[in-house]
């Protein structure tokens, strides 16, 4: 068996389908629009089958581009439960927020806590960050970061992994995650870059002279993936891409950074032999 992670091309937003070793399906974030609905839902159906349930919808945070279209998702793939950090976010008056809250009330919700985990066979979800009382004025620090691990059958070691960072920023990592974990705990094979390639992943306002890179240096990914589409923010920022390339060691083919707007849907398989396989344009 294996853990399979799908980075879905949803434009300027985020959506990741995780198929666990135990056969469960989880969706991390959602950005379904009128323009992409047919393609996105058809891809999910190709992966798990029309009408198949999602054990949970995991919301990194309640910004529109991470929850948009969640009722459409639920209609095609019934969501058993919503998991989030419990933090209301900054867009509570939006249509997307109201739809998300309607689903959350309907199916029920579990509030995830930082420094906890769930195991599904050889798949482990480690919640490196959720609502963080140490950074109360930083909305992005209240979002969920998941390290998805594929572990050995005896649970003795992590064989390979991916890091899903949501919109977390440099401060989230510098004053939060990296205070809680050793470097070896955050090392990962495939990094999903923060905030669609925004420079905030490296730019700590408290240190205007230097970019923060201790987190990505500790993660030491082989490759970084950016979920991005047409936008008015200039994402991904050229300097951010430069830093992702600098700190990603590269695949066997020498690839270091892939973007969903260029590579489409991507399928990552984390395998029992400790190797991983990433396919693009799925």
CATH number (domain holding residue 148): 3.60.15.10
Confidence grade of residue 234 (pLDDT, cut at 50, 70, 90): confident
pLDDT band of 89, cuts 50, 70, 90: confident
Q: From the centroid of its chain, how far is CA 85?
A: 14
Per-residue pLDDT tens digits for 191-218: 999 988 899 999 988 777 789 999 999 9
**Structural domains in the chain (count):** 1
- Owner of token pair 């798990």: 48
Give the mean model confidence (pLDDT) for residues 123-140.
Answer: 94
In the predicted structure, residue 232 carries a pLDDT above the cut 90: no
pLDDT tens column, 151-168: 999 999 999 999 999 999
Q: Give the number of C-alpha atoms closer than 13 A to the C-alpha of residue 257, restricted to the C-beta side.
A: 21
Of 20-24, 30-34, 212-216, 249-253, minimum mean pLDDT range: 249-253
Domain that holds residue 39: 2-279
pLDDT at 196: 87
């Amino acid at each position: 068996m294996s853990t399979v992670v799908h980075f879905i091309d949803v434009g300027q937003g985020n959506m990741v389908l995780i198929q666990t070793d135990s056969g469960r399906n989880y969706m991390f974030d959602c950005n379904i629009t009128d323009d992409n609905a047919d393609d996105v839902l058809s891809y999910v159906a190709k992966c798990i089958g029309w009408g198949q349930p999602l054990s949970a919808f995991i919301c990194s945070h309640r910004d529109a581009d991470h929850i948009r279209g969640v009722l459409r998702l639920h209609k095609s793939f019934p969501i058993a439960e919503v998991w989030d950090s419990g933090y209301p976010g900054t867009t509570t008056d939006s249509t997307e927020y109201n739809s998300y809250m309607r689903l959350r009330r309907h199916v029920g919700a579990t509030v995830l806590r930082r420094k906890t985990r769930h195991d599904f066979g050889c798949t482990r979800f480690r919640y490196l960050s959720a609502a963080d009382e140490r950074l109360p004025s930083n909305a992005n620090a209240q979002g969920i970061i998941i390290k998805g691990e594929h572990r050995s059958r005896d649970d003795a070691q992590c064989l390979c992994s991916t890091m899903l960072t949501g919109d977390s920023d440099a401060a989230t990592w510098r004053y939060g995650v990296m205070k809680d974990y050793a470097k070896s705990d955050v090392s990962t094979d495939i990094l999903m870059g923060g905030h669609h390639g925004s420079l905030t992943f490296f730019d700590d306002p408290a240190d205007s002279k230097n970019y923060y890179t201790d987190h990505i240096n500790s993660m030491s990914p082989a490759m970084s993936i950016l979920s991005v589409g047409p936008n008015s923010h200039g994402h991904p920022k050229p300097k951010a891409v430069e830093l992702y390339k600098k700190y990603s060691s590269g695949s066997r083919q020498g690839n270091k950074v892939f973007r969903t707007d260029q590579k489409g849907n991507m399928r990552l398989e984390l395998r029992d032999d400790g190797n991983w396989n990433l396919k693009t344009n799925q």
